[in-house]
């Protein structure tokens, strides 16, 4: 949705602007910054300036804190008279509330619940002003808890840290944000529970910084060994990482499977404490539907990265149902759905996508690739993902080309089926647990790997997907990685996902759930094929392009430039 930038130490305005420029593709609608010198008290702030044509070259004045923000405006709001009003006016950042300065990237899905909380708890004799953006909502939520803690405390303490810890527990969303407390010179940075929205930070002797992409930190002179990936829902407080003990990722990481397995005599004993298969199917159907529904609330035009596989088709069927419900209610905005499939002319993904799109009566745009298109896109994808990993390049290429087509069609929000294979045992590598183990051992080992994959999906997959979609100004949302879906999926026993070592189809419960919601059998039972293979991209990359293109050298050149 946006790009967040921050510097702490001793620097000039030009350096902050150069970092913002390096990630301007993340938000082309508006740019804003805040600069403060803690010693002199000098402040410079502009919430809407032309970054592209900015010619300011102030290299003499130094600052101790700087926040920068590039905005991607997703939708328009309706004003009090019923007319459409541009969201830019209300959503420009940084947001300043007294001594607190905020920048935010992402979406808060329980907006109305938090809005109601703030309204119920407004100060006496104050008229409530409705928040007009997620960034405003978060700012007022943190400020509410900050003031409460500060007023109740008799001694000086880390008010900002405690306020954010409390606020995070109320949030349901995908986000990263930073807050500066001018009164106490405290800087705080955080990100969502799964790590859907990226955040990196760098530390060197004379300077510290954070950014939505590594390239901004490279621009500021940080080397790879000085840059770290902020863990999901951890808090970076004055550049010290603090884990939140009660968050989802820590729960996943700290699950002791050896101890869990020792509590049962066999796998049947373990299954006896679980709900039956049909109950899980029903709960899963409802949770996935809810996850999709809240990610398209207030959205009119939505794109779906589509392979014609079971996961993306589940999303397509749900989107179609939501669109039909909205169409029958004149008080709701319409939902216009467009599917985007990438592949060679006769690739599996294109063939299946065309067939199911026609059966569902949904609009499909096919991006037919060839060697020339892939070759032209390689540098752009590598620049986005900042990584020379060939597998990441192949998967990233698919998403890049799909979101590029969406950008050309004026679509700013997309959905993808990311996370379903990790949660429901979709990868072929999961079968290795059944080779030389009893079923009792195999299923606990399978669960342990699935937990590991979800705990690490933020740096393995999500940051790549965010980078290539945002390179095209498209925000990617991932319903299968909703907190409720994850919690339920991790509770589902491995036996309901993979049957045995010869189960080449795998992830049975999600396939049966697909059948429950109306996905045709030829899609629900279609074998898994990774995006880079189903589209044909991997074949072109390895046999044609990478023979004469040094991807390692290119990525190294990005760091130097």
Written as six digits, the tokens of 436 are 């030389």
Determine whether 2 is an active site residue. Answer: yes
Contact (CB, 8 A) for 199 and 176: yes
User: How far is it, in rounded angstroms, from Cα 296 to Cα 294?
Assistant: 5
Q: Diameter of the chain by CA atoms? A: 72
Task: Measure CA of the first residue to CA of the last residue in the chain; give whole Å.
Answer: 25
What six digits make up the tokens of 558? 């990005």
Sign for the CA dihedral angle at 454, 456, 461, 464 comes to: positive
Q: Which of 260, 256, 187, 264 is nearest to 4 (CA)?
A: 187
Q: Which two tokens stand for residue 308?
A: 């014609």
d(CA 423, CA 491): 10
Q: SS3 letters for 462-516?
A: HHHHHHHHHCCCCEEECHHHCHHHHHHHHHCCHHHCCCCCCCCCCCHHHHHHHHH
* Rounded-to-integer distance, Cα 430 and Cα 560, Å: 39
Q: Tell me phi and psi for residue 88, to 5 degrees.
A: -55, -40
**Which one, of 244, 240, 105, 247, lies nearest residue 186 by Cα?**
240
Residue 497 φ then ψ, to 5°: -105, -50
Which residues sit opposite 3 in a β-bridge? 70
Structure tokens at 505: 């189809």
CA 58 and chain centroid, separation: 35
- Residue 329 has φ and ψ, to the nearest 5°, of -120, 110
How far does CA 422 lie from the centroid of its chain? 16
Of the candidates 2, 4, 45, 62, the residue annotated as catalytic is 2
- Kindly report the number of other CB atoms within 10 A of residue 405's CB atom: 20
Alpha carbon 77 to its chain centroid, in Å, reads 23
Cβ neighbours around 451 below 10 Å, total: 18
The answer to whether the beta carbons of residues 307 and 369 sit under 8 Å apart is no
Beta bridge partners of residue 211, listed in sequence order:
5, 200
User: Which residues lie closer than 8 Å to 235 by C-beta, 6 or more apart?
Assistant: 161, 164, 165, 188, 189, 190, 241, 242, 244
What torsion do the CA atoms of 344, 346, 352, 357 make, to the nearest 10 degrees?
80
- SS3 of residue 276 by DSSP: coil
Contact (Cβ atoms closer than 8 angstroms) between residue 6 and residue 68? yes
Contacts of 403 (CB under 8 A, 6+ apart): 303, 305, 340, 414, 468, 469, 471, 472, 474, 476
Residues 176/4, Cβ–Cβ less than 8 Å: yes
DSSP state, residue 24: G
Q: Which are the catalytic amino acids?
A: 2
């Amino acid at each position: 949705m946006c790009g967040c930038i921050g510097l702490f130490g001793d620097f000039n305005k030009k350096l902050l602007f150069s970092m913002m420029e390096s990630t301007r593709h993340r938000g082309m609608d508006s740019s804003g910054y805040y600069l403060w010198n803690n010693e002199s008290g000098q402040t410079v702030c502009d919430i809407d300036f032309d970054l592209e044509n900015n010619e300011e070259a102030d290299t003499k004045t130094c600052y101790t804190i700087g926040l920068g923000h590039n905005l991607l405006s997703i939708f328009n709001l309706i004003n009090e008279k019923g007319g459409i009003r541009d969201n830019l006016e209300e959503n420009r950042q940084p947001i300043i509330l007294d001594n607190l300065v905020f920048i935010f990237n992402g979406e808060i899905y329980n907006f109305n619940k938090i809005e109601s909380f703030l309204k119920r708890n407004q100060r006496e004799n104050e008229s409530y002003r409705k928040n007009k953006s997620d960034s405003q909502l978060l700012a007022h939520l943190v400020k509410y808890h900050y003031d409460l803690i500060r007023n109740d405390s008799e001694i000086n303490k880390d008010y900002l840290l405690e306020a954010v810890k409390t606020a995070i527990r109320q949030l349901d969303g995908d986000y990263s944000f930073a807050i500066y407390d001018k009164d106490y010179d405290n800087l705080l940075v955080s990100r969502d529970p799964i790590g859907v929205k990226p955040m990196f930070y760098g530390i060197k002797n004379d300077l510290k910084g954070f950014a939505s992409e590594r390239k901004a930190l490279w621009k500021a002179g940080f080397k790879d060994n000085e840059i770290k990936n902020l863990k999901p829902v951890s808090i970076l407080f004055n550049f010290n990482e603090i884990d939140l003990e009660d968050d989802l990722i820590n729960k996943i990481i700290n699950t002791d499977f050896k101890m869990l397995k020792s509590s049962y005599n066999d796998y049947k004993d373990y299954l006896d404490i679980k709900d039956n298969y049909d109950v899980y199917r029903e709960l899963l159907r409802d949770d996935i539907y809810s996850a999709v529904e809240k990610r398209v609330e207030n959205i009119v035009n939505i794109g779906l990265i589509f392979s014609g596989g079971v996961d993306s088709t589940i999303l397509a069927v749900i989107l179609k149902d939501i669109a039909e419900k909205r169409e029958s209610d004149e008080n709701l905005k319409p939902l216009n759905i467009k599917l985007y499939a990438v592949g060679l002319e006769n690739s599996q993904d294109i063939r299946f996508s065309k067939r199911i799109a026609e059966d569902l009566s949904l609009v499909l745009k096919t991006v037919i690739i060839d060697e020339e298109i892939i070759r032209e896109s390689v540098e752009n994808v590598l620049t986005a993902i900042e990584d020379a990993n060939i597998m990441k390049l192949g998967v990233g290429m698919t998403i890049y080309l799909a979101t590029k087509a969406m950008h050309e069609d004026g679509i700013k929000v997309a959905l993808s089926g990311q996370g379903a294979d990790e949660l429901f045992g979709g990868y072929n590598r999961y079968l290795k647990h059944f080779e030389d183990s009893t079923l009792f051992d195999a299923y606990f080992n399978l669960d342990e790997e699935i937990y590991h994959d979800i705990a690490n999906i933020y740096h393995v997959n999500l940051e790549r997907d965010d980078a290539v979609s945002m390179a095209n100004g498209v925000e990617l949302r991932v319903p299968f990685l909703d907190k409720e879906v994850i919690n339920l999926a991790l509770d589902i026993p491995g036996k309901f996902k993979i049957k045995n070592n010869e189960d080449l189809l795998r992830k049975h419960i999600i396939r049966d759930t697909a059948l429950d919601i109306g996905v045709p059998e030829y899609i629900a039972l279609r074998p898994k094929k990774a995006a880079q293979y189903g589209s044909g991209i991997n074949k072109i990359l390895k046999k044609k392009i990478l023979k004469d293109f040094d991807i390692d050298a290119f990525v190294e050149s990005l760091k130097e430039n």
